[in-house]
Amino acid sequence: MVLYDNLIENNRRRIQLLEESARLLYQEWFVHLRFPGHEQVKIVDGVPDGWEIKSVRELLGKVLKKKKVKKEEYLSEDAVPCVDQSQNFIGGYIDDEEVAITENLPVVVFGDHTRIVKYIDFPFAQGADGTQLLVPSDDRIPRDFFYFMMSSINVANAFYARHFKFLKAKEVLLPDIKLMTEFSAIVSDSMSQIKLLRNQNRSLAQARDLLLPKLMSGELTV
């Protein structure tokens, strides 16, 4: 069991490092404005030439929504993962393909109460505990760039208030499409590695959970 736990923890740390590396690159380019070629770009009132100031509300597109899954409906394992606003990347599972969101992926999940932001690039069911699904209205905006933009926004903690209204009111700097695409090309490999590591952790957890009852019952010995 310790071996499985160690492998899962090692993968979790690798995921954190990959995310942090991409997040630091986003901050370097789009917050500190030290993007490639910035020396030749005119900046007026903190806005580089060719960039725009937009509210988050202006950037949001529509998402096809389905039935939200209540926490008491969660299963420990099944076909469709449920994504909610908890710290856990996947809150649980549901045996109902009809509630799965399978189109317009990836999406960004924002926790209305917790302010947790998740990048979801697989079919999933939406948790019913205050999750908001976000996609850009402009298809030219890369989804990974959009995720790091949303996760970089500081929404103050209003405790158990709904925070989505505060997020939508925030203003962000929107770079030109070329620079967003260049950023996406760099971080896409990290995002693919993160997805692979999360899948590995899911398989490891399943194997561990299958072995544990057998070890406890004496059916297997170590």
Range of the domain at 168: 52-172
- Give the whole-angstrom CA distance, residue 190 versus residue 188: 5
Element (DSSP H or E) covering residue 20:
helix 2-26
Same domain, 138 and 197: no
Cβ atoms of residues 94 and 66 within 8 Å = no
Q: How many domains does the chain have?
A: 2
Whether 151 and 70 map to the same domain: the answer is yes
The highest-confidence range among 21-25, 42-46, 129-133, by mean pLDDT, is: 21-25
Q: Show which of 172, 189, 209 is a domain's final residue.
A: 172
Region 157-179: what's the mean pLDDT?
90
* 80 and 9, same domain (yes or no): no
- Whole-number Cα distances in Å, 206 to 13, 52, 195, 201, 215: 19, 46, 17, 8, 15
138 and 60 co-located in one domain? yes
pTM, whole model, 2 decimals? 0.89
What three-state secondary structure class fits 18? helix
pLDDT in tens, 135-165: 999 999 999 999 999 999 999 887 777 899 9
- What is the 8-class DSSP label of residue 82? E
Looking at every residue in the chain, the average pLDDT score rounds to 90
Q: Stretch 120-149: mean pLDDT, rounded?
A: 94
